[in-house]
Chains A and B, each alone.
Chain A
């Protein structure tokens, strides 16, 4: 048997602390979402009689399914758009040398430094001017502001690591820039794309401030805003059970996505491109 050194012991202690810190709130949320009535205020982690009534209420009292769909549309749209833009940008920034490339990279990084609140009023004008107010398009557009700098920077790094000979081989085969990017580079960037799109998706999925500001009608509401507006029968009651059920529902798609992309992230697709 492997000897238990102080180092490995410490390692496992720290791992358990992190695990508990991450998982306990989620476990508590699941537990609470299955509780009913006064049970919510009991100290037990798991209810004695689990029930799905909170979930039923959630979908019954409001069009929560529609909110979910809105969130999926906004996050999906933001991911697709930002991938499209960032793959093209990453090719230019990573593989074409031109004057001012470094400055441009810094500008892109600089964009992500502004807090959302600081650009909110300016963006509001932009959204109004584009006629996107109270439309999902406004959210897709504004979400790009925080997804793009991140996806571009990550993809530029990966783009630079692709072997130069591949590009030259494609050049000898007579393909254009777009074929090169989408037919040759993109499949090789799949692990990077999976990782970045996942993080971009999570960012857009969780986004609250823009969604609150740029939409007003319930038809355009996304889940984070909808959750903040879940109200009880009276203004003195906070429906914890329903809120917990909503939390579980918004978390599950993310977990599924991570699990689905896990293999893509781990697998090294560039194997066999060049020697070795």
Chain B
């Protein structure tokens, strides 16, 4: 069942349009993450769903009912704000109760829900404190608790972890994943710019991006599961956004079409990519893409000069200067003893390569490669 359906959502501020025709449906119980570069309108989209902003065009349906005209509180959604937005003059308990009291719920029911939420979020000993006396992580939990007690159909998170320090962020991320499992019929929409959060939490990622040539216009670049976006990016923007360090891109042109993919000519070399050729023909300009973790170092016909090495403990990133591209290729290596200036052999496996046509749209990777990669 569709919990939330957005159709043709447009949003403009004054004469500038921000969101252009967003269509999206989110299933009941799904954890959906909006991600994209900063200022790409992902928070605006969330706020439109919440009812804090009105779309210029388009419909929002929750459980099949059009809610465009409904106030935020009537939409059965709850929101966790980036800055928590706790009422500073009320105790934790009063903060949790406040919304429920305005729904005119029975006191017994309110007490039950508050106690249950406090128990889940380990807030019971803090109930009589005021937000000023809480740590950042505790305030965050109160903010989540305030959303839980309302038992909404949809949870909205607006960058909830961005104000926490790194350790706490990882801990809270796990807590949110657990919470989603516990409330398995509640849909969650989560806005973030952190792709680790997106990859670890999401059932579905919605990647937003500015439209080509119109920097202030935003549309959806791709919708899919985290692994779909990782293995089958729809275009070059998605390919470069997902994954860290970013995918390597090599400009080339189609040399020949083969049964198992496309042969591309880059500089003096011929590189095979296992993708369906689509409408490509020999001579077309294309871009090859390969992730650092998929470059095979140590053997192969290609060579590169080690320009720089970043050691991260368990592995290292090697920056290779090659004749394939002006930018050095970044490759992941398990070895820790790579000398700067040395010559390394490497291979770009055909099944790990992505190929983008002249419009930066990805060509479908052949099925064999999917199994291998996934």
Q: Which residues of chain A have a CB within 8 Å of any CB of chain B?
A: 163, 165-166, 168-175, 179, 184, 187-188, 269-275
B71–A166 touching, CB < 8 Å: no
B contact residues around A184 at 8 Å (CB): 87
B contact residues around A275 at 8 Å (CB): 83-84, 136, 163
B contact residues around A171 at 8 Å (CB): 51-52, 71-73
B contact residues around A163 at 8 Å (CB): 83, 85
B73–A273 touching, CB < 8 Å: no
A172–B78 touching, CB < 8 Å: yes
A-B contacts, 5 of them at CB < 8 A, read A169-B87, A172-B50, A269-B88, A271-B132, A275-B163
Size category of the binding interface on chain B: 20 to 34
A contact residues around B98 at 8 Å (CB): 173, 175
A272–B130 touching, CB < 8 Å: yes
B contact residues around A179 at 8 Å (CB): 102
- Alpha-carbon distance A175/B99, docked complex (angstroms): 8
A173–B102 touching, CB < 8 Å: yes
Chain B residues numbered 56-89 whose CB sits less than 8 Å from any CB in chain A: 71-74, 77-79, 81-89
Given contacts A175-B98, A273-B131, 4 further A-B contacts (CB under 8 A): A172-B99, A173-B98, A271-B132, A273-B87
A172–B72 touching, CB < 8 Å: yes
B99–A272 touching, CB < 8 Å: no
B contact residues around A188 at 8 Å (CB): 88-89
- Taking a contact as CB atoms closer than 8 A, the residue among A175, A187, A269, A273 that contacts B85 in the complex is A273
Contacts A172-B99, A173-B98 hold; do A270 and B88 have CB atoms under 8 A apart? Answer: yes
B134: CB under 8 A from chain A?
yes
B133: CB under 8 A from chain A?
yes
Contacts A163-B83, A168-B81, A172-B73 hold; do A273 and B99 have CB atoms under 8 A apart? Answer: no
B contact residues around A175 at 8 Å (CB): 73, 98, 102
A contact residues around B136 at 8 Å (CB): 275
A15 shortest CB reach to chain B, Å: 34
B103: CB under 8 A from chain A?
yes
A165–B83 touching, CB < 8 Å: yes
B contact residues around A169 at 8 Å (CB): 79, 81, 85-87, 146
- Alpha-carbon distance A175/B71, docked complex (angstroms): 10
A contact residues around B89 at 8 Å (CB): 187-188, 269
B contact residues around A165 at 8 Å (CB): 81-85
- Alpha-carbon distance A273/B131, docked complex (angstroms): 7
- Alpha-carbon distance A169/B142, docked complex (angstroms): 13
Chain B residues numbered 19-53 whose CB sits less than 8 Å from any CB in chain A: 50-52
- Alpha-carbon distance A187/B133, docked complex (angstroms): 17
A174–B74 touching, CB < 8 Å: yes
B86 shortest CB reach to chain A, Å: 7
- Alpha-carbon distance A207/B78, docked complex (angstroms): 51
- Alpha-carbon distance A193/B99, docked complex (angstroms): 26
- Alpha-carbon distance A166/B98, docked complex (angstroms): 13
Most buried by B among A166, A171, A179, A272: A272
- Alpha-carbon distance A168/B100, docked complex (angstroms): 16
- Alpha-carbon distance A268/B42, docked complex (angstroms): 34
B contact residues around A172 at 8 Å (CB): 50, 52, 72-73, 77-79, 99
B132–A272 touching, CB < 8 Å: yes
A174 shortest CB reach to chain B, Å: 3
Most buried by B among A170, A171, A173: A173
- Alpha-carbon distance A29/B258, docked complex (angstroms): 107
